[in-house]
Amino acid sequence: MSHRLLQRASRGATSIQVWPSPATVRASRLAPAFNQRHQLGHASAQSFRWSTTGAGPAPHKRVNPNLTVVGAVAIGCLGFGAGLLVANSTPSTDKLNDNVNTTAYATHSEMLQAASQIALAIGPDNVSYDTDDLEHHGHSDWSTSNSPIRAAAIVYPRTTADVSAIARICNALNVPMVPFGAGSSVEGNFAQPHSGICIDMTHMDRIVAFHPEDMDVVVQPGVNWVDLNRQIAHAGLFAPLDPSPTATIGGMVSTNCSGTNAMRYGTMKDWVLNLTVVLADGTVIKTRRRPRKTSAGYNLTALFVGAEGTLGIVTEATLKLAPVPQDTSVAVVAFGSIRDAAAAASELIRSGIQLAALELMDEVQMRILNEHGSEAVRRRKWEEKPTLFVKFSGTTEGIKSDAVRVGEIIRRGSGNEEGNGVRMHFAGSKQEEQDLWAARKEALFTMVNIRPAGTEIWSTDVAVPVSRLAEIIDLSKRECGQLGIFASVIGHVGDGNFHVAMMYDPRDGQQKDAVARCVHNMMGRALDMEGTVSGEHAIGIGKKECLVDELGEETISLMRAVKKAVDPKWVMNPGKVFDR
């Protein structure tokens, strides 16, 4: 990859490495990326001025005309023929400067005109201009990737036909469309840097069809996954992902989310059979039929999972379901250092034991639980040390056998049969099992609740191959711990994914820069370890620059070509994943 943002780190380094941003890298990406994450700054305001005045930005070079729409779709579907088509196209030398649409977005008055037409199409009660409503849909306390711009209106469709009507109107008038689920994403995925119409899927919350004999379910995007599992529990089935309890299916598809169960069950992409999608011009497509297996045509389902609503709006999803395990149990074990805990996690992953989940919380998190956790969590006096939370599932006998093997691995990793004081504590009852796991699930909410007024939480994640997990967690923990602010590490370490959360004062320029540098360095380490800058939160606004360094300009150019093929006016959630 040319002009890397971050310098290569030595694989054997034991001290904290800092990756300075070279002056040759696109006028220093760190500052623009930080400005994007913190309310997008001047660039967003300038973009919005274009939309309200009708004046467009200075024209850029256009995409290579030989990279056709047909080629773009084929490339997106990763077909062999698509590879040949690209190979025979004239190479684009413009790459990230390619501009697929120089037309300015609608003015604010034109956006209001679109909202009026939408009100006629789906009913005036399903359109809101309320200031509080606009604010709620445009800002998130969960995220530092916010925009100062708000949508012109919020619309509430109830059917696929409603969404299709909305898309036809917005596309005709060049009005950006921003889908909104539960509002719990952390990378600015539903921010509105170009204003537009925000499409809230709250009322699309029906279970359309349940096929217990086929172990699948068809749902609208506004269905909450916890509610879904509650409604189908009688059949002994469940949707096995475990993200934030507020998450809805549409957002989960949009970000390719995962959660604490990812070690056993994978991520959202592994559980989506098909999608009904409304394209930018209102066209409705279904990506495939309902069998669990098919080799018919391009995998369009995969194209839309994780696309963040930039290619189309999901209005129905058919999800695979899993049998509810016969039994479950939870154990916790505290370690003397975060590196020891992460190393033990890596050993457990490589052991082949089919754990349901493997989670890590550092000593900062454990202290917060002791001081601010729920009553059930505070009943247990937690060791304020880095702690692994281990969830078992399967048959009762199988869990007992797995627990013995896990205990042996933990003891061996600690250096002797006594385990150097490292002891696993197993839940003695179903109530204790629930209380132990509640501690892990409360972590983020507890952090938000104790945040001092005027501060923000910068929460971000990366994922690396499991062999590098202990190293990157140790280095990242040490660096953020030197900032003199609240900083904590928590992670779904069972699949090599971890999060860092830091509280800082956005009015303190030095503190902001220090936090940005810390995150910048963590992203660099992940890439140098052949990892990713986003394990489960997607890209949104906050990680666009990092995505270039992960995938390369050529790959982003292909993504842009796919975007142009299905959304030539660039009205589907613009400003996310990459810029035009």
Tell me, yes or no, if the two domains 327-446 and 451-537 fold the same way. Answer: yes
39: which DSSP letter? T
Strands 313-320 and 322-323, by their bridges, are unpaired
Q: What is the pLDDT of residue 422?
A: 79
Q: Is the pLDDT of residue 35 over 60?
A: no
* 368 CB-near residues (< 8 Å, 6+ apart): 443, 446, 447, 450, 488
* Amino acid, single-letter form, for residue 160: T
- In whole angstroms, what is the distance from residue 187 CA to residue 51 CA? 24
pLDDT above 90 (res 483): yes
What is the pLDDT confidence band of residue 497, given thresholds at 50, 70 and 90?
very high
Q: What is the DSSP letter of 129?
A: -
Instruction: Quote the CA–CA distance of 2 and 95 in Å, as a whole number.
Output: 12
- Domain positions in the chain are 37-324+547-580, 327-446, 451-537
Helices 469-481, 509-528: axis angle to 10 degrees equals 170
299 has a pLDDT exceeding 50: yes
Token pair for 201: 């899927």
Over the chain, what is the mean pLDDT?
84
Say what the pLDDT of residue 514 is: 96
Q: What does DSSP say about strands 177-180 and 197-200: parallel, antiparallel, or unpaired?
A: parallel
Local structure of 417: helix, strand or coil: coil
Q: How much of the chain is helix, strand and coil, in % rounded to 5?
A: 40, 15, 40
Question: For residue 445, what pLDDT is reported?
Answer: 85
Helix (H) / strand (E) element for 143: namely none
Point out which residues pair with 210 in neighbouring strands. 217
CB atoms within 10 A of CB 264: 21
Question: Which residues are registered as beta bridge partners of 275?
Answer: 317
Strand pairing of 153-155 and 197-200? parallel
Predicted pLDDT of residue 103: 54
| Residue 414: band (very low, low, confident or very high) from pLDDT cuts 50, 70, 90 | low
- What burial class does residue 313 get, using C-beta atoms within 10 Å of its C-beta: 0-12 exposed, 13-18 middle, 19+ buried? buried
Query: Regarding predicted confidence, which is higher, 16 or 473?
Result: 473
CA distance 210 to 232: 8
> In the predicted model, what is the mean pLDDT of residues 513-528?
95
List beta partners, residue 272. 319
Span 447-473, mean pLDDT? 92
Between the two ends of the chain, the Cα-to-Cα distance in Å is: 20
Report the C-alpha gap between 310 and 573 in whole angstroms.
Answer: 5
Pairing of strands 313-320, 284-286: unpaired
**Among 431, 568, 565, CA closest to 67:** 565
Higher pLDDT, 319 or 55: 319
- pLDDT tier, 44 (very low <50, low <70, confident <90, very high otherwise): very low
DSSP per-residue string spanning 245-293: TT-BHHHHHHHT---TTHHHH--GGGGEEEEEEE-TTS-EEE---S-S-
- Tell me the per-residue pLDDT of 500-514, one tens digit each, with 9 for 90 and over: 999 999 999 999 999
pLDDT band at 33 (very low <50, low <70, confident <90, very high): very low
In the numeric block, which tokens belong to residue 80? 């062999």
- Decide if pLDDT at 87 tops 70: no
Confidence tier at 100 by pLDDT (50, 70, 90): very low
Instruction: State yes or no: pLDDT of 65 exceeds 50.
Output: no
What per-residue confidence (pLDDT) applies to 82?
Answer: 33
pLDDT of res. 452: 92
Residue 515 amino acid letter: V
- pLDDT of 68 higher than 50: no
User: The domain at 327-446 falls in which architecture?
Assistant: 2-Layer Sandwich (3.30)
DSSP for 287-314, written as a single string: ---S-S---SS--HHHHHTTSTTSS-EE
Q: Which CATH number fits domain 37-324+547-580: 3.40.710.10, 3.30.465.10, 3.30.830.10, 3.30.930.10?
A: 3.30.465.10
The pair of three-digit structure tokens given for residue 133, joined into one six-digit string: 């409503």
Q: What are phi and psi of 486, to 5 degrees?
A: -65, 125
List Cβ neighbours of 184 (8 Å cut-off, separation of 6 or more): 140, 142, 244, 246, 247, 251
CA-based diameter of the chain, in Å? Answer: 73
Are 106 and 78 in contact, with CB atoms under 8 Å apart?
Answer: no
63-77, 108-122, 139-153: least confidently modelled range: 63-77
Looking at residues 425-444, what average pLDDT do you find? Answer: 93
Residue type, 54: G
pLDDT exceeds cutoff 90 at 361: yes
- Give the DSSP H or E segment for 570: none
Give which of 223, 219, 222 is closest to 210, Cα–Cα.
219
In the predicted model, what is the mean pLDDT of residues 34-59? 38
pLDDT of residue 55: 36
Q: Across the strands, what pairs with 330?
A: 391
List residues bridging with 390 in a β-sheet: 331, 358
Contact assessment for residue 255 and residue 536, using Cβ atoms and an 8 Å cutoff: yes
Quickly state the pLDDT bin for 400 (edges 50, 70, 90).
very high
DSSP-based three-state secondary structure for 413: helix
- Burial profile 90-100: b = 16 or more Cβ within 10 angstroms, e = fewer: eebeebeebbb
Phi and psi angles of residue 445, each rounded to the nearest 5 degrees, phi first: -65, -35
Q: Which residue has the tokens 């059949």?
A: 235
**Residue 260: per-residue pLDDT:** 93
451-537: CATH architecture: 2-Layer Sandwich (3.30)
Q: What confidence category does residue 421 fall into, taking pLDDT thresholds of 50, 70 and 90?
A: low
Nearest-CA neighbor of 148 among 140, 158, 138? Answer: 138
Report the pLDDT averaged over residues 535-539.
92
